[in-house]
Chain A
Amino acid sequence: MAGIEFQNICKSFGSAKVMENLNLTIEDGKFTVLVGPSGCGKTTLLRIIAGIGPASSGRCLMDGKDITDLEPAKRGIAMVFQNYALYPTMNVRENIVFGLKNIRMPKEERDKLVNEYSQIVGLLDQLQKSPSQLSGGQRQRVALARAMVKTPKIFLMDEPLSNLDAKLRVQMRGELIELQKRLGATFVYVTHDQVEAMSMADTIVLMNKGEIQQKGSPEEIYDDPNNVFTAQFIGTPPMNLLAMENGCRLGYRPEVVRLCREHAAAGYCAAGNIVTREMLGSETHYKVRLRDGDVMVKTQDKSFCAGEAVYISVAAGDMYFFGPDEQRIREGHARYRECLEAAGGAL
């Protein structure tokens, strides 16, 4: 088991700088998800941990030891690649056992481990098949078994579920969480899918353009976003943001909005028209056009219909404010009262 620490990491590809002075600590034994849009540097970080895409400058520590220049194979890590990177000319057993053979593990021990882990991933009867004969989900399991059999201190996963169909993805999500709990190892998981991040992570590290936007538990990230990017990246539909007259922005989550047919007695209330209505079963999404812009509303009330004139209201405690620099204006901030009054949320 091991924690990882990045110190002043810089990375450039040719003349393009993708990361500058990044500092981050990944806790020991936790499921950490690096999430962000494509090109944000999450895979770059993962490759720095693995040692297959070293940083241009800066240090990477594991358990307090500097591993910046350590060979990939000596780091005690295992990686699951997005396209699995199975060896196509070897069968399933050879794929799983290749890493063990290379460290000259005795045959009996090897066979025991292979049987144990292929049992865990449910591939015991597929060991003689070649990867090309397997389905996407089965290949994914082979890649997992190949990683697990090495009993690494750290598992690195680069979008391992993105090539699976939706149903299988949800199933594998659960299995991965279970696996992490059982092994107790450090998992570093890269994804661009915020749902995956929210559902699996102990800690989310949200990145954009080579910078860490926010790090925290899924609850913190969702309930207490640091900035506009975090607020908009996490949540489906994303947080509604409306410009205010003082240059700041007002935000609120779609599910805290109350839809009604009459003007609310007090607090924030705005008139608008329903533009679209999406019935998703347990909930209904409405897009409401206000004077200041469009907002999404998520509610269990499906009685409204498209084209209807409605009022929306939001409680003061559910409102978020962001300054012109896109940073959050929290309660206690100098401009908080001003924003609250500008939004009409003050009592």
Chain B
Amino acid sequence: MKRMRVKFLAVSGSVLSVLLLLGGALLIKIAGISDIPQAGFPGALLGGRYFLIILGVVLGVASTCLGSTAVEGGLQKKRYFPYLLIAPAMVFLLIFVVYPILNVLFLSFFRGSVQNPTKEFVGLKNYIALSEKSQFIVSVKNTFFYAAIFVTLVIVCSLLMALWLFDDRKINKFSQTAVFTPHLIATVSCAFIWRWIMDFNDYGVLNTVLSLFGISPVPWLESSKTAMWAIIVMNVWKNIGYYTLILIAAMKNIPAEIFEAAVLDNASRTKRFFKIILPMISPQLFVTLILLTIGSFNVFDSVNAMTAGGPGSSTEVIARFIYLFAFGNVNSLGLGCSAAVFLMSIQLVLTAAYFKLLARRVHY
């Protein structure tokens, strides 16, 4: 009896949740995202559209949890039941992930602005315009440069750092926390700290230290030769701690006996690293690589805060291009969207390539 009631609650909960999510999304579509709600029946409902979404999510999670307890009780025979339980999550993904992606793709074929996104259908003209825009081509080049150097540096540095901090010593516990701390600071704050460190004027820390050794000050952020490197250094500094922690956790998972066996097998330190540690943390390295690559192509806030794309266009990146053209210029939302579609395709292709090329070398 009790189980039937649980099942009934779970089913009705997830159906209701799906309806709420769809209803909320529809109301947002009709009313826009920033309209002031009005009193009275339709107005109040329109104003409560975000509330409907939140309620839908809460109800969806609750009914899925409730339902999963019922599944263990033998209800898995009913084929539709599991699908019903994941329906709220699927609807949520459809509304907030799949729909925006398709919408960006759709808008990239139009000329328009945020207020009127589909002013004029232009077909592939936005893409053609992109390929001819030197600002965009420079952004793509810069982004690739940034991504290649950043990903390599972070992986190599956090591997070395993880090896260094691997042993259980008090000082290492402190060091782990210390290298992790930058991850907790907002990127914009970090950017300001590093702008101060790299300042060209007489109060820049780096130049002050260099001057002690008789080296004349370098305009780190004001020179097109060093600006991108400065941003890379800041981001590497910010990210190392996080990935070091992931890799240390992976290394700690390797049983101590395996290292002992390797020592008895005459394996040198280098051999132990390449033949035992590296293959055994390959799943975590692989995930790290994919996350870092995707993240590095999205780089925006650090660039915007440190150099705003300058000097000249030496640190312009794709995400900044999208931001400028989608929300800055007049009637160029479509151009921004087409750049966004381009960025997403790069990330998709790279991720697919990683799986194709590296998945065989990953030992699960």
Show 12 residue pairs from A and B whose CB-CB distance is below 8 angstroms, ordered by the A residue.
Answer: A52-B264, A72-B263, A73-B265, A73-B266, A81-B260, A85-B261, A87-B276, A88-B280, A89-B276, A98-B265, A99-B267, A102-B268
Instruction: Decide yes or no whether A78 CB sits under 8 A from chain B.
Output: yes
Q: Does A138 contact B (CB under 8 A)?
A: no
Task: Give A85 to B271 CA distance when docked, in angstroms.
Answer: 17
A72→B261 CA distance, assembly (Å): 10
Q: Number of contacting residues on A, CB 8 A?
A: 22
Residues in A neighbouring B42, C-beta threshold 8 A: none
Closest CB in chain A relative to B223 CB, distance in Å: 46
Q: When the two chains form their complex, are residues B266 and A99 in contact, meaning their CB atoms are under 8 A apart?
A: yes
A103–B266 contact, CB under 8 A? yes
Per DSSP, are chain B's interface residues mostly helix, strand or loop, or mixed?
helix
Smallest beta-carbon distance B285→chain A, Å: 13
CA distance A83 to B260 in the complex (A): 12
Q: Is B3 an interface residue (CB 8 A)?
A: no
* Interface status of B122 (Cβ within 8 A of chain A): no
B280 and A89 form a contact (CB under 8 A) = yes
Q: Please report A residues at the B interface, Cβ cutoff 8 Å.
A: 50, 52, 72-73, 77-79, 81-83, 85-90, 98-99, 102-103, 146, 150
Residues of B within 8 A of A89 (CB): 276, 279-280, 282, 363
* B262: chain A residues within 8 A (beta carbon): 87, 98
A81 and B258 alpha carbons, distance in the complex (Å): 9
Give the distance to chain B from A233, nearest Cβ to Cβ, in Å.
Answer: 27
Cβ-defined partner of B264 (8 Å) among A78, A83, A87 = A78
List residues of chain B with CB within 8 A of the CB of A77: 264
Q: Mark B61-76, 1 if CB is under 8 A from A, else 0.
A: 0000000000000000
A89 to B263, CA, bound (A): 17
User: Quick check: A102 and B266 within 8 Å, CB to CB?
Assistant: yes
Residues of A within 8 A of B268 (CB): 102
Kindly state the separation between the CA atoms of A150 and B261 in the bound complex, as whole angstroms: 13
Q: Are A88 and B363 in contact (CB under 8 A)?
A: yes
| CB of B253, distance to nearest CB on chain A (Å) | 11
Which B residue sits closest to A158, measured CB to CB?
A: B257
Contact assessment for B275 and A98 in the assembled complex, using a CB-CB cutoff below 8 Å: yes
- Whether a CB of chain A sits under 8 angstroms from the CB of B255 is yes
B260 to chain A, nearest CB (A): 5
Which residues does chain A contribute within 8 Å of B264, judged by CB atoms?
A: 50, 52, 72-73, 77-79, 99
Give per-residue flags for B234-269: 1 if the beta carbon is below 8 A from chain A beta carbons, else 0: 000000000000000000000101101111111110
Q: How far is the CB of B251 from chain A (nearest CB, A)?
A: 14
Taking CB atoms, residues of chain B closer than 8 Å to A99 are 264-267
Q: For B280, give the chain A residue with the smallest CB separation.
A: A89
Secondary structure of the A side of the interface? Answer: loop
Using CB atoms, name the residue of chain B closest to A89.
B279
Shortest 3 CB-CB distances between A and B: which pairs? Answer: A85-B257, A99-B265, A89-B279
> What is the CA–CA distance of A265 and B31 in the complex, to the nearest angstrom?
109
Expressed in whole angstroms, the minimum distance between the Cβ of A74 and any Cβ of chain B is 8
Measured in the bound complex, the distance between the Cα atoms of B259 and A87 in whole Å is 9
Q: What separation, in Å, do the CA atoms of A325 and B267 have in the docked complex? A: 50
Q: How far is the CB of B108 from chain A (nearest CB, A)?
A: 45
Known: A88-B280, A98-B267. 15 other contacts (CB 8 A): A52-B264, A73-B264, A79-B261, A81-B257, A81-B260, A83-B255, A85-B257, A85-B258, A87-B276, A88-B258, A88-B363, A99-B264, A102-B267, A102-B271, A150-B265
What separation, in Å, do the CA atoms of A336 and B265 have in the docked complex? 54
Q: How far is the CA of A269 from the CA of B261 in the complex (A)?
A: 57
In the assembly, what is the distance between CA of A90 and CA of B280, in Å? 10
Task: Name the residue on A nearest B279 (C-beta).
Answer: A89
Q: Which residues of B sit under 8 angstroms from A86, Cβ to Cβ?
A: 261
In the complex the two chains form, what is the Cα distance from A99 to B260 in whole Å?
12
What A residues does B260 contact at CB under 8 A? 50, 52, 72, 79, 81, 85
Q: Which residues of A contact B280 (CB under 8 A)?
A: 88-89
CB <8 Å contact, A83 and B257:
yes
Residue in chain B with minimal CB distance to A77: B264
Closest to B265 in A: A99
How far is the CB of B158 from the nearest CB of chain A, in Å?
A: 21
What's the Cα separation between A29 and B280 when bound, in Å?
37
Q: In the complex, which residues of chain B have a beta carbon less than 8 angstroms from the beta carbon of A88? A: 258, 280, 363
- Docked CA distance A72–B255 (Å): 18
CA distance A146 to B261 in the complex (A): 10
A98-B264 Cα distance, complex, nearest whole Å: 11
* Distance from B101 Cβ to chain A, minimum over Cβ atoms (Å): 37
Central interface residue in B265, B267, B279, by most chain A CB within 10 Å: B265
Shortest CB–CB separation between residue A218 and chain B, in angstroms?
29
Contact yes or no, B275 A85, CB < 8 A:
no
Q: How far in angstroms is the closest Cβ of chain A from B141?
A: 38
Q: Which residues of B contact A79 (CB under 8 A)?
A: 260-261, 264
* Minimal beta-carbon separation of A129 from chain B (angstroms): 14
Least CB distance from A163 to B in Å reads: 13
Q: Bound state CA distance, A98 and B271, in angstroms?
A: 10
Smallest CB separation, B89 vs chain A (Å): 33
- Residues of the B chain whose Cβ atoms lie less than 8 Å from the Cβ of A83: 255, 257
The 0/1 profile, CB within 8 Å of A marked 1, for residues 95-106 of chain B is: 000000000000
CB proximity to A under 8 Å, residues B166-200: none
* Residues of chain B lying within 8 A (CB to CB) of residue A90: 275
Chain A min CB distance to B256 (Å): 9
Query: Which among A79, A88, A89, A99 has the greatest number of chain B C-beta atoms within 10 A?
Result: A89
Kindly state the separation between the CA atoms of A85 and B265 in the bound complex, as whole angstroms. Answer: 12
A81 closest partner in B (C-beta): B257
Task: Using A73-B265, A102-B267 as known contacts, say yes or no to A85 and B255 having CB atoms under 8 A apart.
Answer: yes
Could you say which residues of chain B place their CB within 8 Å of the CB of A72?
Answer: 260, 263-264
**Nearest Cβ in chain A — how far from B269, in angstroms?**
12
Given contacts A85-B257, A102-B268, A102-B271, contact A52 B263 (CB under 8 A): yes
Expressed in whole angstroms, the Cα–Cα distance for A88 and B255 within the complex equals 11
Chain B residue with Cβ nearest A104: B266
Chain B residues positioned under 8 Å from A103 (CB to CB): 266
Cα A88 to Cα B363 with chains together (Å):
9
A83 vs B267: C-alpha distance when bound (angstroms)? 20
In the complex, what residues of B have CB within 8 A of residue A73's CB?
263-266
A159 to chain B, nearest CB (A): 12
Chain A min CB distance to B267 (Å): 5
**What string of 1s and 0s marks CB contacts (under 8 Å) between B289-326 and chain A?**
00000000000000000000000000000000000000
